[in-house]
Amino acid sequence: MKRIKKKNRGPLHPLMVYVLLIAIVIILSGFLHLIDAGATFNKVNTITGDLNPQTEVITNLFSLSGIKYIFTSTVSNFANFSVLSNLIILLMGISIMDKSGFLQTAITLTTKRLKKKTVTFIFVFICVIASLLGDLSYLIFIPLGSLLFYYGKRNPAIGAICAFAAISLGNSLSIIFTSTDSGLLNYTLQAAHTMNESYVINHTAYIIIMSVAVILVSYIITFVTENIIAKRVAKYEFTETELEEDIVTKDEEKGMIFACGAAIIYLIIFIYSIIPNLPLSGALLDNSQVYYIDKLFSVNSFFSKGFVFIVMMLFIILGLFYGIGVKSIKNHQDFFDNLGHSLDGIGNMLVMIFLASTFISIFKQTNIGNVLVASIGNIIHNSNFTGIALIILIFIGVFISNLFIPSSTLKWYLLSANIIPVMMQSGMSPEFGQLVFRFAETSSMNITPLLASFIVYLAILEKYNQGINKVRLIDSIKYQIPYTIIVSITLLVIIIIWYIIGIPLGINTFPTI
C-alpha cells in the first residue's frame, strides 16, 4: 500500500493571519458581551477636581448591529486610514530619489569610509530622534532603511527591521517636549491636582534622563541588529551587477551639488515659515496656540496638516535636481516615470493595508482594549504597592496595555487617574509617573500588530523576501523580540537607578516629591 505524502502547505500568508484575527476579535466580542465583561476606571472631574468612576463595556460585533457596522464602515475606514495616503505620497518622493540615482550616490558618499556598525548606529540614532514625527517617521525611514542596507550590499530586510525597532522603541524618548507630551501632561496635571491643587510641571522635566535613554537605546538597537538580527535573517542574494563596487563619478558629484543646493534653498524657506514673530514668517503655524510645540503640531496647524507633502516635495527636489545634474532625467517623461517607480507592484501592499485597517478599526470598535487597560489600572490602584515594587508593577501593566492600545493619549486617559495619585502617595513625583508610563509603553511598541504603521514594516519585509514562503506575521514580530527584551530591561533599570539615587530627571525635576 502506498504511503500518501502530505503536501507541505507552508506557513499561513500574513493576509490570512489578519483575516483570522478579524474573525477571532468579532467572536470574542460576542462572548465577552455575553458575560457582561467591563471595567470601571477613575476619571478626573476638571470642574470639581474629584475622581469620578467611568465604566467601559464591550461592544458586541457578533450580532446583526455589529455586522452592519462592519459592512458600512470598512470602506470608509480604509479610505481614511492615514497610513495608506501618506505612504503613497511619500513613496512617490522616495521613487524619484531612488530611480534618479540620488540615493545610491548619497549613500555611497556618506558611508564608503565608515564601518558597517557605525553606519547602523548613525541611522538608528536618527530614527530614534525622528520618532517624534509620529507615524510619518515609519513611512519615511522604513523604506529608506531598506535602501540604505541594499546599497550597502547588505540584506535590505535588516534595514527595515532595524528602522522599525528604532522608531518604535524611540517613540516615547523625546529630548524635546512634543505635542504628545503636551497632551499627556494635561492628564498628569489633572490627576496630580487631586492630591495637590497647586502642582506645576515644566517643559524641561525630562531632558537629562531622556538624553541618556536615547543614547543607550541607540547603542542597544545597533548591537542587537549587528549581533543577533543580521545572523538570523536569511542571506540576501545579490546579482553580480548589484555587487559591483559603487564609484562616484564627477557627473554624480555635480548632481549632488545641484540637489543639495536646491534642497538648502527649499529648507531655508520652510524653516523660516515655522519661526514665529519675524517679518512674513510663521505662515505654517497655528498662532492660536500658546506653546510653540502646539503651534507646530495642533490639528489646525498648516505645518502638521501639510508635513507629508512638505517632505515629499523635499524628496522630489533632491531626486529631480540630481537627475538633471547627471542627465538621468532629460525630460518630463523621465520625471513622471521615475515618480511612480516605487509604486510598481504595490497591489499586495494595498491589500495588506486594507486588512490591517479593517482589523484595527474592528478591534477599536469592540472596546476590548479599553476594558483591559482600565482593568490593569484598577489592579495598580488597588495593589497597595510602594517604592520599587510599585514602579515595576506600573511598568509591566503599561507594557501589556500598550499591546492592545498603542495610542499614548488614550492609554494615559484610562490610567493616569489611577497611577499618579498612587505614586504621589508613595512619595513619587507626577513627572516620574509619566516617565515610567512613557518608558514602559515604548518598550512594547514594536511588537503590537495594532500599531497602524506595523503593516508598513511587514510590507517592506515582504517586498525584499527571496524565499519560497511568504514572510509570516509571527516572523516579523519574532525579529523584534530581542530588541524588546533588552530595551525594556534597560529602561526599567534606568528608572530604578534614577529613583534610588534621586538624580534629576530634568531641570528642577526629581523622581520624588
Domain that holds residue 131: 14-25+81-248+345-501
Q: Span 44-57, mean pLDDT?
A: 80
Amino acid in position 421: P
* DSSP secondary structure letter of residue 509: B
Q: What pLDDT digit, counting tens, does each position of 471-506 carry?
A: 677 888 999 999 999 999 999 999 999 999 999 999
Q: Span 409-433, mean pLDDT?
A: 94
307 found inside a domain: no
Q: Is the confidence at residue 251, as pLDDT, over 80?
A: yes
Neighbours of 368 (CB within 10 A): 21
323 found inside a domain: no
Gap between the Cα atoms of 356 and 82, Å rounded: 12
CB 466 within 8 A of CB 237: yes
Q: What is the pLDDT of residue 344?
A: 66
Higher pLDDT, 365 or 241: 365
Tell me the Cα Rg of the chain: 24
286 found inside a domain: no
290 found inside a domain: no
What lies within 8 Å, CB to CB, of 372 at 6+ separation is 39, 401, 404
Q: What is the pLDDT of residue 4?
A: 46
CB 404 within 8 A of CB 415: no
Q: What is the pLDDT of residue 187?
A: 92
Look at the chain and report how many structural domains it folds into: 1
Q: What pLDDT digit, counting tens, does each position of 150-178 carry?
A: 998 899 999 999 999 999 999 989 887 77
Buried b (16+ CB within 10 A) or exposed e, 38-59: bbebbbbeeeeeebeeeebebb
Neighbours of 269 (CB within 10 A): 10
Average pLDDT, rounded, for the chain: 87
Q: What is the pLDDT of residue 82?
A: 81
215 found inside a domain: yes
437 found inside a domain: yes
What lies within 8 Å, CB to CB, of 392 at 6+ separation is 492
CB 323 within 8 A of CB 255: yes
314 found inside a domain: no
Q: 3-state DSSP call for residue 246?
A: coil
What's the burial of 279, exposed, middle or buried (CB within 10 Å: 0-12/13-18/19+)? exposed
Q: Span 351-360, mean pLDDT?
A: 89
311 found inside a domain: no
CB 378 within 8 A of CB 371: no
Count of residues making up the chain: 513
Q: Is 219 left (phi over 0), alpha (psi -120 to 50) or beta?
A: alpha
Q: What is the pLDDT of residue 302?
A: 77
Which segments of 112-178 does DSSP mark as H helices, in order? 116-130, 135-151, 156-169
Going by C-alpha positions, the residue among 201, 172, 171 that lies closest to residue 185 is: 201
Q: What is the pLDDT of residue 467?
A: 65
Amino acid in position 188: T
Q: 3-state DSSP call for residue 222?
A: helix
Q: What pLDDT digit, counting tens, does each position of 119-133 carry?
A: 999 999 999 998 888
CB 40 within 8 A of CB 9: no
Give percent helix, percent strand, percent coil of the chain, each to the nearest 5: 70, 5, 30
Gap between the Cα atoms of 301 and 289, Å rounded: 9
Amino acid in position 261: G
Neighbours of 108 (CB within 10 A): 16
Determine the Cα angle at 310 with ends 334 and 77, to 5°: 95
